């Protein structure tokens, strides 16, 4: 079992729809969870971080965390063609000082006009 798993996609949604991206992780001790967006040929950029169970909203983006079920999701409301990218889920591995993250392989999202 991979430590962080995501569906590779591609996930295709029409413009204006809600895109739902999911991520599961294996380490119950994980405390920090991140969603990054990566456009083709570019480096990952942080969209959201979440640390507590429940929902966290930022504009059109909502991150949802359920530690009991070990999943974290990202909802994108009113999807735009500019949201077409690969979305990476990352989870901290160690509570110690090294700040390593474990990365999923990413989900490719295509928003169709």
Positions that interact with other proteins (CB under 8 A) = 32, 34, 41-46, 49, 88, 90, 92, 97-101, 103-106
In the complex, the smallest distance separating the C-beta of residue 12 from other proteins, rounded to whole angstroms, is: 19
The H-assigned helical ranges of the chain are none
- Residue (79 or 84) nearer to other proteins, CB: 84
| C-beta separation of 110 from 12 below 8 A | yes
Q: Tell whether the torsion through CA atoms of 51, 107, 27 and 71 is positive or negative.
A: positive
In the complex, the smallest distance separating the C-beta of residue 18 from other proteins, rounded to whole angstroms, is: 25
In the complex, the smallest distance separating the C-beta of residue 78 from other proteins, rounded to whole angstroms, is: 26
Rama region for 93: left / alpha / beta (φ>0; ψ in -120 to 50; rest): alpha
- Residue (43 or 82) nearer to other proteins, CB: 43
- Residue (17 or 101) nearer to other proteins, CB: 101
- CA dist 74 and 64 (Å) reads 6
């Amino acid at each position: 079992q991979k430590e962080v798993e995501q569906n590779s996609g591609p996930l295709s949604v029409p413009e204006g729809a809600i895109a739902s991206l999911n991520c599961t992780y294996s380490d119950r001790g994980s405390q920090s969870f991140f969603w990054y967006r990566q456009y083709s040929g570019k480096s990952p950029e942080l969209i959201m971080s979440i640390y507590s169970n429940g929902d966290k909203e930022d504009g059109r983006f909502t991150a949802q965390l359920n530690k009991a079920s070990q999943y974290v999701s990202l909802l994108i409301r009113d999807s735009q063609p500019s949201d077409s990218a690969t979305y990476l889920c990352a989870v901290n591995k160690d509570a110690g000082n090294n700040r390593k993250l474990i990365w999923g392989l990413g989900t490719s999202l295509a928003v169709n006009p």
